[in-house]
Structure 1
Amino acid sequence: MRNNLIKVTIEDHVAVVKMDNAPVNAYSRDFSDEMIEVFDELNDTPEVRCIVITGREKIFSAGADIKNRQAIGDIKGETYRHLRRTREVSNCIMECGKAVIAAVNGPALGAGMGPIVAADIILASDNAVFGLPEIDIGLMGGARHTMSLFPKSLARRMILTGYRVPAEEAYRRGIIEACVPLENLMDEAMKMARIIASKSPKALSLAKRAINTVENMPLRDGYRFEQNLTVEMTRHADSKEAMRAFIEKRPAVFKDEI
């Protein structure tokens, strides 16, 4: 991994991905490319069972790099390449076979909301806000992502007015799992990540496959799909180990194998 604009550390089966594109983790071409590379590589790293994504200092991501964006339209075809890169930043997180926790350590705006919506679990510090400033800066986008996470009226308020939702409000509405002081955020995120990382890699992989597949399926079809995954899980060594550990009243010991 480059460890340039995206810093990665791995310990105890947990990868911490820190966006480090000063000053506000804006979506430049290099930033987007490196983010995609990082998640693709972590997805292919057996010892990683959970990923925590966060930002530098007191900012998660301000989204689009407005200064550089003005020059994009001057290069033939670059507008569409830029939009595709931006989409793939969210897609590579959503499609990752590992559990992803977003530890939102400050403002998450515009495209910076993408990793949050794509993550599995969201925690935030009490200085964090969630917003779509596009209406005020001559851009569009982010409505569909926002509407998948925020309630209808609130999402439309964000889109139409640029309202920034404080983390405390997001927690009160049940949109995020925790709102804690900034200095406690990573401790809370790592506590949850270690719980996830203690599970079977095979079970986690199948659970992510189920989550990503059944969300938009009818109940009957979704449950049938999950039952087929259960059959696949019971044929894996981790299933037998989990059952033995339960009977013997001891922690299960899993291998980094899927």
Structure 2
Amino acid sequence: MSVSTSSPEKGIRVVTVDHPPVNALPVKGWYALADAVRSAGEEPGTRCVLLAASGRGFNAGVDVKEIQQDGRTALLGANRGCFAAFSAVYDCEVPVVAAVQGFCLGGGVGLAGNADAVVASEDAVFGLPELDRGALGAATHLARLVPQHLMRTLYFTSRTVTAAELHRHGSVWRVVPRGELLEAALELAREIAAKDGELLRLAKSALNGIDPVDVRRSYRFEQGFTYEADVSGAGDRVRDTFGAGRAGR
């Protein structure tokens, strides 16, 4: 598992996740991502953080196999690790641009939904297959990408929505061919990073302060039901039917 940070241009820090085969992160991976994003934003010279991923897709959520193997310990770890990573993106001292390719599922929606801007490739799809995986959560973040009734329909059906559809809703800034994704995201990050660094940090705090929904409290509320599903046995019952062929959904 690899979470790396690079500085391709002045003022821009790129945090890249590379965890084959589908970037479904184990507990340690979520904490590593949280630390990387937080550290990048704390660097005095950073004016924009670009969150990217290598491989087939942006993020396929938590490592379901780890939860199946380690049970409640892994579930609690995943809950806390996801909370830490999503919060790190939201609370990052500077704007965060997410570059999304391929599948953006579960925890991927949590990351993209908490980012300040999203640039996506033409093949990108977004969704929450939580009900198919014995869990709940991240509706808080999907609701930042799509209107309420669409969010509920996507959540209850585990269907996905395309980058082009999100672009029409205004939640994706640009949709580009996959080969142009990183450059398109860097172009936006470059425009942001050209602003005064102190003002950018004040602006990020100001915009977070006027959000109509407290994303931390809202997501923690959802997580309580994930744990309840596990205690009741519903979570295990669904996870036991989770097949290898569904990992990239």
Q: Secondary structure at the match of 1:58?
A: coil
Q: Secondary structure at the match of 1:63?
A: coil
Paired position in structure 2 for 1:128: 124
| Structure 1, 79-88 or 195-204: larger mean CA deviation | 79-88
Q: Secondary structure at the match of 2:179?
A: helix
Q: Secondary structure at the match of 1:124?
A: strand
Corresponding letter in the other structure for 1:80? L
Paired position in structure 2 for 1:44: 42
C-alpha deviation, 1:71, in angstroms: 2.4
C-alpha deviation, 1:172, in angstroms: 1.9
C-alpha deviation, 1:58, in angstroms: 3.0
Paired position in structure 2 for 1:162: 158
The equivalences for 1:98-117 within 5 A come to 98-117=94-113
The equivalences for 1:59-208 within 5 A come to 59-73=57-71, 75=73, 78-208=74-204
In 2, Cα distance between equivalents of 1:130 and 1:94: 19
In 1, Cα distance between equivalents of 2:70 and 2:83: 16
Q: Secondary structure at the match of 2:159?
A: coil
Displaced runs of 4 or more, over 3 A: none
Query: What residue ranges of structure 1 are gaps of 5+ in the alignment?
Result: 218-258
C-alpha deviation, 1:173, in angstroms: 2.4
Corresponding letter in the other structure for 1:39? V
In 2, Cα distance between equivalents of 1:83 and 1:38: 18
Query: Would the alpha carbon gap of residues 155 and 74 (structure 1) be closer, same or farther in structure 2, given more than 3 Å must change?
Result: closer
Aligned residues: 212
- TM-score, normalised via structure 2 length: 0.81
Paired position in structure 1 for 2:234: none
Paired position in structure 2 for 1:212: 208
- Residue by residue, what CA displacement relative to the aligned partner does 1:131-154 show, whole Å, maximum 9, x if unpaired? 111122222112222123211121
C-alpha deviation, 1:74, in angstroms: 5.2
Contact 1:128/1:167, CA 8 A, preserved across alignment: yes
C-alpha deviation, 1:85, in angstroms: 1.3
In 2, Cα distance between equivalents of 1:74 and 1:152: 31
Contact 2:59/2:108, CA 8 A, preserved across alignment: yes
- Residue by residue, what CA displacement relative to the aligned partner does 1:47-73 show, whole Å, maximum 9, x if unpaired? 211111111133100001111111232
Paired position in structure 2 for 1:243: none
C-alpha deviation, 1:196, in angstroms: 1.0
Paired position in structure 1 for 2:239: none
Larger RCO (CA under 8 A, 6+ residues apart): 2
Q: Which has the larger Rg?
A: 1
In 2, Cα distance between equivalents of 1:166 and 1:216: 25
Paired position in structure 1 for 2:53: 55
- Residue by residue, what CA displacement relative to the aligned partner does 1:79-137 show, whole Å, maximum 9, x if unpaired? 33331111111001100111100110121001111110110011100010001111222
In 1, Cα distance between equivalents of 2:48 and 2:3: 17
Matched, 1:5 2:12: no
Contact 2:22/2:55, CA 8 A, preserved across alignment: no
Contact 1:27/1:86, CA 8 A, preserved across alignment: no
Contact 2:30/2:82, CA 8 A, preserved across alignment: yes
In 1, Cα distance between equivalents of 2:184 and 2:199: 23
- TM-score, normalised via structure 1 length: 0.78
In 1, Cα distance between equivalents of 2:162 and 2:71: 34
Q: Secondary structure at the match of 1:51?
A: strand
